[in-house]
Amino acid sequence: MNLDSSNLNPVKFQPMSLLLLRTMIEFCTKKRMIAAIAFLGSISIIILVIENNWSIGHSGSVKTVDTSPAENQSTECSAEVKVVEECAPCPAFELKSQPYCLGTGYREIVTCKHDGSSKTIHRTCPKLTYLEERDFLLFEAIALCIGLGSYTVVHSRQKLLDKLLFDKVNKQIAAGV
């Protein structure tokens, strides 16, 4: 099939770049593209599994914070503790300045009742895996949407180019060339 780039695409290619483009298009068949995508997807999943197991099993790279009530609360909190705000990420301005945010980057607000008085304090808490999973799944969903959008654009562009080529061939046949 002979494609004339001047009639199909308004962008003018240099002869060498047109040759490279044709070579690339001929090399990237649909079967090869699907195989490449499956290979990259498999590698991504393997890397995610290895990272997950490495971060859990490798104690040197993960900071662990003991959140036991006796060691984590201040000395005033030896009696009744009520959680006011569940474990959540620390705000940006507290991350480097407050000691309860330095360990994990997460904090919870508790009320300590001692001798009839109550005091609200912040204490550190472990990272929440559901927040990390949610962020990962959100990233994957956005990547999927971008991929589907890109596929739609490429597919519609290919249909348009095929239609233009078909019309050009019909005109040539009708003209008797």
Q: CA-to-CA distance for 9 and 58, rounded, in angstroms?
A: 55
What pLDDT score was predicted for residue 19?
Answer: 62
Please name every residue paired with 37 in a beta bridge, in sequence order, or none if there are none.
none
DSSP state of 89: E
Would you say 9 and 160 are in contact if contact means Cβ atoms under 8 Å apart? no
pLDDT in tens, 100-150: 888 888 888 888 887 777 888 888 888 777 778 888 889 999 999 999 999
Query: Which residue bears the tokens 């003991």?
Result: 66
Per-residue pLDDT band for 74 (boundaries 50, 70, 90) equals very low
What pLDDT score was predicted for residue 22?
Answer: 63
Mean per-residue pLDDT of the chain: 75
pLDDT in tens, 28-47: 777 888 888 899 889 988 88
Q: What average pLDDT score do residues 139-167 get?
A: 92
What pLDDT score was predicted for residue 25?
Answer: 64
CA distances from 63 to 58, 125, 136 (A): 10, 12, 21
Other Cβ atoms less than 10 A from the Cβ of 107: the count is 23
Contacts (Cβ under 8 Å, ≥6 apart) of 114: 76, 77, 78, 79, 80
